[in-house]
Amino acid sequence: MEKLTVKTKKRNELIDITKPVKKVIESLGVENGICVLFCPHTTASLTINEAFDPSVMGDIIFSLDKISPDYPEFRHMEGNSDSHVKSSLLGCSLNLIIKDGKIMLGQWQGIFFAEFDGPRTREVFVQVVKA
């Protein structure tokens, strides 16, 4: 198992982690298998989406803010309930297929770490299983 460190700069942001994930797979020399990514944080998550146009990331953050704004009625004492909801909506893990040494992503897809309670230093665990 490998660990990626992600440093976030904003309360809400999506950070492209495709290149570091690819580097882990390359360093392990896995030709075919599964790569599991796990985010061990309750106010952050992982997602796959378009990596070509950066405005898509802003649109995702905008939409999640509309779905779960910071309601004054939230009871969680830390004041970050909206962050917990957003994290739950996207999820904490991804399973990626590795074929011929490459992650099977679509032409425009990238892997993103989603921060909802930053800025912080976060971790993503990477487990690669050979087929």
Does residue 74 form part of some domain?
no
The domain spanning residue 29 has which CATH number?
A: 2.60.120.460
In a domain? residue 22: yes
Secondary structure element (H or E) that encloses residue 44, with its range: strand 44-50
pLDDT at residue 56 is higher than 90:
yes
Residue 73 has pLDDT above 90, yes or no: no
Compute the distance between CA of residue 111 and CA of residue 105 in angstroms, rounded to an integer.
9
| Domain annotation covers residue 23 | yes
Is residue 57 included in any domain, yes or no?
yes
Q: Which residues contact 66 (CB under 8 A, 6 or more apart)?
A: none
Q: Is residue 100 part of a domain?
A: yes
Q: 3-class SS at 3?
A: strand
75 domain-assigned? no
- Domain extent at residue 47: 2-68+80-130
Q: Is the pLDDT of residue 116 over 80?
A: yes
pTM of this structure = 0.95
On whether residue 105 sits in a domain, the answer given is yes
**How many distinct structural domains can be found in the chain?**
1
Mean pLDDT of the chain: 96
